[in-house]
Structure 1
Amino acid sequence: MTTGVAGTSVVSSSLYASDNEQVKRMGMVHDENACIGCTACTDACR
């Protein structure tokens, strides 16, 4: 069951990589119901 789950993803733009380069793409899924305000998820994305 996936209630309370939010998803975010970072998609790179062609402004940052040429067509011949491989681009690393990352994403994160977290449960907002489990949030205690510690900002660990924000720190992990930096």
Structure 2
Amino acid sequence: MVKSGFEQTIFRFATDHGFGYGLFAIGLAMLTGWLGRIIFRKD
């Protein structure tokens, strides 16, 4: 399978910088959860 464009960029970054990619994924998940809580909270 040949990857190109944005998918190739993400794949290469994840392969070359696994720890940083993991931290970014965790941070993005936390940010998404926090924003979801703010947007969908019931007062």
TM tier, shorter chain? under 0.3
Q: TM-score of the superposition, structure 2-length normalised?
A: 0.25
| Greater RCO, CA 8 A, separation 6+ | 1
Q: TM-score of the superposition, structure 1-length normalised?
A: 0.25
